[in-house]
Each structure stands twice: as C-alpha cells, then as structure tokens.
Structure 1
C-alpha cells in the first residue's frame, strides 16, 4: 500500500497561489493535484481556506456556503463518494434580473439549485434533518454560476475542492417560500438559455435524495472544521440538473416549481 504524504505548508501555499494568480491574471492554470495529490481531502480544504483567506483579506465577506458534487453521475466521474463544499462571498452575490460581465467568471457554467437562508445557527445539537428543517427561514430559486481557475475544467476532486468548489457567482430569485409550503425533494426544475431548454427537467431528489439532506451533511462538515453555519447565511444546496456553459449575450432562466423563476443575463466585458 502506498503511503499518503501530507503536503507541507509551503506546498499548500504554492497551490493556493497558483489559483489566486490564475484569477488575478484571468488565465486558467494547470491542475493543483500535481502539488497536493488526487485524494488528500484535508490538503484540498487547507488550500481552499488559504484562497478564501486571501479574498477576505482584500475585503470580501463570507455570506454562506455552496454544496457541490451532489449528483451520483458527477461523483462517479470524479471517483468520489461524497459531495464537496465551498464558501460564498458577498462579491459573488446577485439578484434575479441582474447582469453579470462574462469575463468576471472564468469558464462559466450555469446550473439551477434551491438556496436556503438560515434563521438559526447550525452549530450545536445533532444537526439532523429535523434540526435543519427547523433552522431554515425560507428558500428561493437560485442559479449558481460555476467557474474554474483550472484550465479546460480539467478537474479531479482535490482540484475542485481547492478551487473553492469551482465557485463563481450565485443569483437569488425574488420569491421567498417557507418550508411548510413545499417539500424540497419534490420540486421540479427546468433551465433555459435564451428561451431554449438547456437541461432536462430535474427534481429535488436529484440532490442527494433531498436538498435538506445535503444541508445537513454540510452543517456537520462545517462544524467539524470549526466554522459552523450561521443565521442569515445563504446555502446553495446542490444542482438539480447538469451544468451548461454560458457566453456573452446569454439570458439564463431557471424555473423551480413552486419557488418561481430566477433570471440573469451575461454581458461583454469585465466587472
């Protein structure tokens, strides 16, 4: 059996700097798995924390978390058996109807999700499905605009984790729906680009069987890492269907019944 060697701090910092330089120069970089390995989850999250810390030092504020790799197909593609997560920052946030400069997100791809806004901290207790349900203030239809600093989306599990779970931006819809009004696992989703359906219809069960199950998983992971979920934070619970690439001029709309619709348009130029 091959022994896993934990990367040194300078190696972790080198991986983080590679991703930060790619972002600053707007030039995708080589995968970081050559530095931190393909399977070292702890190292990947260590790099993610360094990347996020650098952005926070420049003024960004944490406003929530995102869950990725919630579909069986994507997990199989990357050879993993669990989701991942990243950090949402205030400079990633948009409202439905906004425009986003296409060059502000590297290699952008859009996907439809349910976003939950928390009314209570998820820091103590069992962090089970019942507690998560009781802690949610409301849900909204959301678009996640994924982005990758890794050239040609050539990602393995540690690459996407280190790259803040391939985060780019997120867009929240206008309608606030309480959990007593719907069951997240039963929602129906369609994604269209310029009025043409771009993803097969999906439902809430595509996200770990129930988007609230994904949030419970995240709550336990976040607490274990010493950064529990807090009241007021936005939680993107995971894709309800496949990602689709977007280009300048595209108008993307997600319809998630009964949460309503959310739309964003991509424009030329940088933010």
Structure 2
C-alpha cells in the first residue's frame, strides 16, 4: 500500500509530489484533504510548474488537452467550463503500441476528436468560427487518462494540478480538413473485448468540439498564453472512459475518422 507524505503543501511541493507519483507509479489522497486553498487558479499554477519541470528534463510541448467537456460532469464538479492541460511528446503513444501499464496507475480510455492547428489561436474573445478556421486537420483519437489520486477521487483544484489526469494518447489513421467533416454528427462506438459498451456523437463535447477549442483559447489567454500553430489539441472525452485492463482489447470506431485499436497490454510491473 502506498503511503502519503504529510506536510504543509504549496505550489512547489505539490508539483514535485505529483511528478514523483507519476514517476514512481503510485497514487495518493487528494491534496485538498489537507490544503483547502488548492482552488482552480492555484491548480493551474501547479500545472504550469510541472510543465516547466517536464521541459527541464527534456520533454517537448506538443499541444494541449481539455478535460471535463461534458456539461453533466461539469455540474457534478461544480464548475462551468472545461479544464485545460498540457501535452508533451512523452505522452504520445505510437499507433499499435499497447497501453503502457508499467508506467500508469489505473489507466482508462476515452475517444476524442483531435485537432491539429494550422494557425495560432489567441484569445480572449475567440469564437467557434475563428477556432475552426485555425484548424488544419481533424482526426479521431483515444486518450489514456490516468490519475495520481486514489480511485480517481479529486476536487477541481486537485485534477487541474494533476494536468487533468494526463497519461498517454494515440491518434487515428484518417486526417481530414475541417471542411470535409460534420463534427456535430460524427459518431463513435466504444468496443471492449468484442462488445459495444458505449456510443455518442462529438456533439457531446460542449455541443461541438470547436466550442471546446474556443473555450481553451480563451482560458489560456487569461494566463497570457495561446494555442500555437502545429499543436495537437485533444478536445475531451466523447463518451465515458472505460478501464484499460491488462489483457483487454479496446476499439474506438469513428463514423468518418476510422478506428483505433488499443491492447490493454500485460500486467503492470510496479
């Protein structure tokens, strides 16, 4: 059983502990159990500090992701906007590779619409039309989310600090121009061990994934940042996430954007 490290928390110590949990493949209780001041704004300060440490150890920033794009999930968490977080090259999973059980704590898989940005997108005031005009390519994707918190239990501040439960991600085989796909009706089926367990359309993501993209650009503007050309943007889970058990098989079948296969891999080694 893992043992938490009690102490008086601050931005620097929480950032260090989250990266240590990730590196050591161990979970812990939420920081807000002891540090009630860990709110959304503080969570983003911690998230930015962990990004600085990732870059310092050799990772490259490749884009960003959104979390909690479902309005129902937002209501459960008591927030009114999705969370944003960072993607680095260390999170890229090559197509065909199994879920990396040995470096993840309790991975789950969810299908997402992925944007590759053609132009810089900077808020505030970004509209859906402006967001879509900045997209070069649209792909299907599967994000393997993970959490450093026991049983995926956390507050908004906790999960933002934890880079919105980042783990790994893989993109699908088909890339389309945004003018060649109707994202409001793009459907996806999630199949686990040969049985379809969930389905939805991309409209589950804020009504349209471009709405999430615009929200992300405007959120980043409040922190003095923008979505850069060439970045990959994961727009958030279309369905609920499914547990990526060792030995399982998971398919995400998009109506237009092709299918993505993920093997659950072998038993974790840690």
Instruction: Give the structure 1 partner of residue 218 of structure 2.
Output: 220
Using the size of structure 2 for normalisation, the TM-score is 0.91
CA contact (8 A) 2:187 2:202 kept: yes
Deviations, residues 194-224 of structure 1 (Å, cap 9, x unaligned):
222122x101111111100000000111122
What is the distance in 2 between the residues matched to 1:80 and 1:216?
17
Question: SS at the partner of 2:142?
Answer: strand
Aligned with 1:167: secondary structure? coil
Q: Secondary structure at the match of 1:15?
A: helix
Report whether the alignment pairs 1:30 with 2:29: yes
SS in 1 for 2:174: coil
Where is the helix percentage greater, Structure 1 or Structure 2?
A: 1
Mapping for residues 3-14 of structure 1, pairs under 5 Å: 11-14=10-13
The aligned counterpart of 2:104 is 105
Of residues 100-109 and 160-169 in structure 1, the stretch that sits farther from structure 2 once superposed is 100-109
Query: 1:267 is paired with a residue of what secondary structure?
Result: coil
Q: What residue is the counterpart of 2:188 in the other structure?
A: 189
2:137 alignment partner in structure 1:
138
Residue 54 of structure 2 is matched in structure 1 by 55
Q: Which moved more, 1:117-126 or 1:258-267?
A: 117-126
Kindly indicate whether residue 82 of structure 2 is the aligned counterpart of residue 83 of structure 1: yes
Contact 1:120–1:230 under 8 Å retained in 2: yes
1:32-53 residue CA offsets vs partner (Å, 9 max, x unmatched): 2235437721101011111222
1:235 counterpart residue number: 233
Do the aligned residues in 2 keep the contact of 1:101 with 1:267 (CA within 8 Å)? yes
SS in 2 for 1:215: helix
- In the other structure, the counterpart of 2:202 is 204
Instruction: Specify the alignment match of 1:246 in structure 2.
Output: 244
> Could you tell me whether the CA contact under 8 Å between 2:123 and 2:220 is conserved in 1?
no
Partner of 1:152: 151
* 5+ residue gaps, structure 1: 1-8
Quote the offset at 1:251 in angstroms. 2.0
Native 8 Å contact 1:36 1:44 kept in 2: no
Matched residues in 1 for 2:153 and 2:239: separation? 20
Out of 67-76 and 83-92, give the one that drifted further.
Answer: 67-76
- Could you say what secondary structure the match of 2:233 adopts? strand
| Residues 120-129 or 148-157, more deviating | 120-129
CA distance in 1, matches of 2:125, 2:70: 25
The corresponding residue for 2:174 is 175
Answer yes or no: is the 8 Å Cα contact 1:38–1:157 preserved in 2: no
Report the RMSD for the aligned CA atoms in angstroms.
Answer: 1.9
Partner Cα separation in structure 2 for residue 186 and residue 36 of structure 1: 43
Q: Kindly indicate whether the alpha-carbon contact (under 8 Å) linking 2:124 and 2:222 is maintained by their aligned counterparts in 1.
A: no
Cα 1:163/1:185, change in 2 over 3 Å: same
Residue 131 of structure 1, CA deviation: 1.3
Q: Report how many residues are paired.
A: 262
Residues 126, 188 of structure 1: alpha-carbon distance in 2 compared, 3 angstrom cutoff: same
| 3-state DSSP of counterpart to 1:82 | coil
Q: Indicate the residue corresponding to 1:120 in structure 2.
A: 119
Q: Which runs of 5+ in 2 are unaligned?
A: 1-7
With over 3 angstroms needed to count, the CA separation of the structure-2 counterparts of 1:205 and 1:39, relative to structure 1, is farther
- Name segments (4+ residues, structure 1) moved above 3 Å: none
Q: d(CA) in 1 for partners of 2:168 and 2:265?
A: 14
